[in-house]
Amino acid sequence: MMALTIFILRLFVCILAFPLFLLNTLGLWNQICKKWFPYFMLRFTVRYNEQMASKKRELFSNLQDFVGPSGKLSLLELGCGTGANFKFYPPGCSVTCSDPNPNFEKFLIKSMAENRHLQFERFLLASGENMPQVADGSMDVVVCTLVLCSVESQERILQEVRRVLRPILFI
């Protein structure tokens, strides 16, 4: 009896998963996910920011301390998504955004319009592991939240972060 129950449950899961398997086999699943994931993240980050607002304010409160010689804070956000962190960045901050999903760009444009205290530099269609568009030592701060758990190589991202960060001079 137990074997029959397990067989029926496995058959039921296979039937439910078949459309996903078929979409993946046809190469369509990744495209669908990339298109709809930004809509999910937009809803998720609103709730997430409500719950984490005080913690984010605390975490980002000292960003101004890293202003470079130009007098303007250059910030690179990896896996920027919908721009959920923008409201926590200091006024006048120059923000460059990077995300491997091109479907986030329209959400970023809307978020930048809502956060006029920032200067939007550009959106890079790139993963954090490979950002040749960002010059060595050109950023004062790099931010990545909810990103390192979903990348191919955390080590490679950290190497890129180190490369793009402005060296700190100790006096």
Quote the CA–CA distance of 100 and 48 in Å, as a whole number: 22
> Using an 8 Å Cβ cutoff, are 111 and 43 in contact?
no
pLDDT of res. 168: 77
Q: What is the pLDDT of residues 118-152, one digit of tens each?
A: 999 999 999 889 999 999 999 999 999 888 887 88
Closest CA to 145 of 87, 84, 89: 84
pLDDT of res. 169: 65
Q: What is the pLDDT of residues 13-64, one digit of tens each?
A: 878 777 767 777 777 767 777 788 888 888 888 899 999 999 999 999 999 9
pLDDT of res. 93: 95
Domain ranges of the chain: 66-164
Q: What is the pLDDT of residues 67-97, one digit of tens each?
A: 988 889 999 999 999 999 999 999 999 999 9
Which CATH class, in words, describes the domain spanning 66-164? alpha beta
Complete DSSP assignment for 53-111: HHHHHHHHTTGGGG--TTSS-EEEEET-TTTTTGGGSPTT-EEEEEES-GGGHHHHHHH
